[in-house]
Chains A and B, each alone.
Chain A
């Protein structure tokens, strides 16, 4: 086989592989992308019920409540302009606290309660997820000193 033909074979294989991968990636983006909303956006847009999304903000002060089963926790996530009730069954991350920035992933129930499948808080006290700080900036309550602490 000549050098030229060999190169053609490999380039064609590479192209085939790449186009297959591109197709996979596009389909996967379409099907698995998880949008991020702030409480204000949830209130304004009311995202589709059947599709999961991420909701991020601060855990509202004084909102955390444990239900009778001992496992389910209810709290509100706020960007200080709007707030959304959240319910979560399971062990909360170690650094979950009132006033702390968190990201939750789950679905919005018919009653307007966001049922979280996952609650993420960072492993660092002074941490604020960027999505959350952006959302807070948007709602106009962000102060620079919070960001630099």
Chain B
């Protein structure tokens, strides 16, 4: 019964979305207040129905209702409760439903918190939002109905893919989707603005918090996925330039550009049509990210929930959304009035450079990801991997990182470059010191050593800017503290995010350059030495988990005779799908991860063991967390609070800031 209610609720969601997509839009065109006012209640209603459908599916999973095909294929009664819940979105149909729910959440949030948006803008934004929902609902209902039944029901389910039975991956998809879908708000605002023919500072102030929130979630989602790949696959790597990873990274790059260009619109009333274009592109890339791998167009080693048979529907959906919005942009963008003047060397100029570099970097990732398709049209099969991105993406990002320390120090309209450079002498010293220290410790090749220096430059530059604002060491500590408290949240946020970027870069560079890897056969009692640590294999025992059997190794790690850690890497077998998984054991220190994983027995009493010394990998996660927190801190800024700004108050606020 409950699955039918869910199915029915999903149909109602579509009906409501159809109303929400048409009435307010027509009302806005005709100036009919009643019709426009229908936008908010329908948005809330859409959320209620979508949520009901989602909960119905979750109920089927939690109660292991195997008459539902989706549950029978992706769950099992022996699974722990956490994974029964997360299995709801661990499959194609369920993940679509999650997408729809999150879309409805964002739509309802605009309806509820946007009470002081101009009525026509709000009506149009919500209508555009509803059209996106209609596309997805139609896709879900007509091609991927999660509530399909089967009789007779199987005795037990086929189990969730064991690799997904992991806390990291239980929360990775919702996080990622919050990011992808969050950009839909920026998109809807952009389309609404194009229809209205008006973009101003207040518009940017509404768009920015949504973009920022989406960006935080996407950052977290990508980091979580990367972390999962790192500890679950047992390969010791955290990024493989695989299509699945790339498609989530592209909206991040574009979204980062959008985040920065929206500041220019808000503060200086310039770059309007560019910002609108970025909003469209960011969400388009999110759509591509959701679908391109799923559609089976690109092969990925770690994509789940793919379904090539629905590829055509997906392509049509992508084509209509992206093509349609770009056509609208081409027709309407010229009518957006350009705003304030500024010199080439200025904060605006710096942010434009940021945008150009991020877009070009994103384009190279796009070309690399799409290369198999390009090759195929020329009649051969080929891919590109990490070396391609090292030659293209990395050299484009390097000047961006170098400029990132300068940008925040530039003043609006016209900046004094010499003065800014002189404020960065400490950052310059930090760069040289870090490079020298790296060279002394590791004697690596030139480029990584320079890259470590660049990371230090960015970190020191971000801190210098912040220190300058609170006049650290230039005035009494209590005065500095007072200034720090008085500083807006977005200023702290920016420093934290930029510093986090520096920390993450250091981690990425160090771990990909100075990683030590050893693969060997060990018998109980054997000792191996990797990067100064001694690993002694104590024993291997067979243990029984809730829904798996595990071969658990006990490895004692010592350094110079002193105990460091006891690691227990596992090789699990999930009998339902007869599928093995690797559970790596990771001991984290500040400077490195000690990482062990076990493979198959060699058949002669030995066990294949993989030992990695992974320098600075923890910094990648720490840096990502700093970026997320930085974004959250900016969101807490009163001036950015969702729905807070009013159009007529805008000029006063801009002045107060300057």
Contacts and interface: CB of A to CB of B under 8 A. Distances in A.
Interface of A: 1, 3, 6, 9-10, 13-14, 17-18, 21, 24-25, 27-29, 31-37, 54, 66, 69-71, 89-92, 94-95, 103, 105, 120-125, 127, 129-131, 134
A30 B200 CA distance: 45
Given A122-B302, A123-B301, A32 B388 contact: yes
Interface of B: 161, 163, 234, 296, 299, 301-302, 304, 306, 308, 338, 341-344, 352-353, 356-357, 360, 363-364, 367, 371, 375, 380-385, 387-388, 391-392, 395-396, 519-521, 577, 579-582, 597, 599-600, 602-604, 606, 608, 610
Contacts of A124: 161, 304
A147 to B, nearest CB: 9
A37 B380 CA distance: 9
A105 B600 CA distance: 21
Given A28-B388, A34-B385, A91-B519, A122 B599 contact: no
Contacts of A24: 364, 391-392, 395-396
Nearest to A90: B519
A18 B382 contact: no
5 contacts: A6-B343, A33-B384, A70-B608, A71-B608, A105-B385
A95 B299 contact: no
A47 to B, nearest CB: 12
Given A3-B338, A6-B341, A70 B602 contact: yes
A interface, over-half SS: mixed
B383 A34 contact: yes
A143 B604 CA distance: 40
Contacts of B342: 6
A69 B520 CA distance: 9
B interface, over-half SS: mixed
Contacts of A95: 579-580
A131 B392 contact: no
Contacts of A54: 383
A1 B344 contact: yes
Contact of A35 (B234, B296, B306, B381): B381
Contacts of B580: 94-95
Contacts of A18: 360
Nearest to B274: A10
B299 A130 contact: yes
Contacts of B302: 122-123
Contacts of A9: 344
Nearest to A13: B356
A6 B602 CA distance: 68
A33 B371 CA distance: 9
B581 A94 contact: yes
A66 B602 contact: yes
A29 B304 contact: no
